[in-house]
Amino acid sequence: MPGIAWSTAADHRFTVNLSMLFTELPLLERPAAAAAAGFGAVELWWPWAGAPVPGRPELDALRGAIEDAGVRLTGLNFYAGRLPGPDRGALSVPGEESERFRANVDVAADFAHSLGCTALNALYGNRVEGVDPAEQDALALENLVLAARAADRIGAVLLIEALNGPESPHYPLLSAPAAVDVVEKVDRATGLGNARFLMDLYHLSRNGEDLPKVIDAYAARTGHVQIADDPGRGAPGTGSLPLEELLGRLRGAGYEGWVGLEYKPGDRPSAEAFGWLPAAARAPR
């Protein structure tokens, strides 16, 4: 149940996704709210959906809010269109959207670097009606190479994730093998070795994948993990996923990175959605 604390929580490092949690608050108030809930680390989707290149005041205000809250930024998405929403990425979409992604790459990397963030996530982008998938894949690889080089410039990894078919039917990376295949293509193209799989256990569960097998096969290629229960995308304990067991398996397979809490709080304030996680386990060690 959500109110029963995990006995193994101290084995992991948790970071709160401020694009899914604390969204009842204005963006600039969310880092402090996460800190007040006991967390020492946060992550974000690109927070300006309509502005791949926001003005300096917007960037400085968010940076200041994170610094003033005393939390660490552990992950940031590149521009990916409207999230949550139907766009689900921009980098493989010909025309204006891929150009917006390109304009965002160095802006996002520099912002991440200014806060010591070392993980940048690039959503692949939906298939577009009337466009050859091979053309989109070629554009995607070109833009992912650009993103990987920007990430390498700041000492970061580039994350690539699978989404789930029921919610994102036009997104082409709908399995762990599909996402890892792209990771390997980017590494071959750049020679940098800094592309990693973002293992989102909620999305993989919704796709019907065998999660223990995914963990055993791809833990070594994983640069970040995100969790939500399934069904419902709520807090651990609100669905049927054995998340504590799965994270234990990841730990046993050698994964020691961050675990992002990317779930919906439900019909309650976000600060009340962490009953499963002991307060002592919320700050990074």
For the chain, give every domain's residue range: 9-275
Judge contact between 178 and 141, C-beta under 8 A: no
262 is known as an active-site residue: yes
* 23: phi then psi, degrees, rounded to nearest 5: -75, -5
Cβ-based neighbour number of residue 70 at 10 Å: 10
DSSP 27: G
pTM: 0.96
256 is known as an active-site residue: no
Element (H, E) at 139: helix 133-153
- Choosing from 43, 209, 244, 262, the catalytic residue is 262
pLDDT in tens, 76-128: 999 998 776 767 899 999 999 999 999 999 999 999 999 999 999 999 999 99
**Is the per-residue pLDDT at 4 higher than 70?**
no
CATH superfamily of 9-275: Divalent-metal-dependent TIM barrel enzymes (3.20.20.150)
**Is the per-residue pLDDT at 2 higher than 70?**
no
Mean pLDDT, the chain, rounded, equals: 95
Average pLDDT over residues 22-31: 98
pLDDT in tens, 154-211: 999 999 999 999 999 999 999 999 999 999 999 999 999 999 999 999 999 999 999 9
Q: How far apart are CA 174 and CA 166, in angstroms?
A: 10
- Given this model, what pLDDT does residue 284 score? 75
Residue with tokens 């078919």: 165
Q: How far apart are CA 119 and CA 225, in angstroms?
A: 11
Helix-strand-coil percent breakdown of the chain, rounded to 5? 40, 15, 45
Element (H, E) at 267: none
Question: Count of residues for the chain?
Answer: 285
* 46: phi then psi, degrees, rounded to nearest 5: -60, 115
pLDDT in tens, 252-269: 999 999 999 999 999 999
- Choosing from 161, 244, 245, 272, the catalytic residue is 161
pLDDT-based confidence at residue 281 (cuts at 50, 70, 90): confident
Average pLDDT over residues 229-245: 97
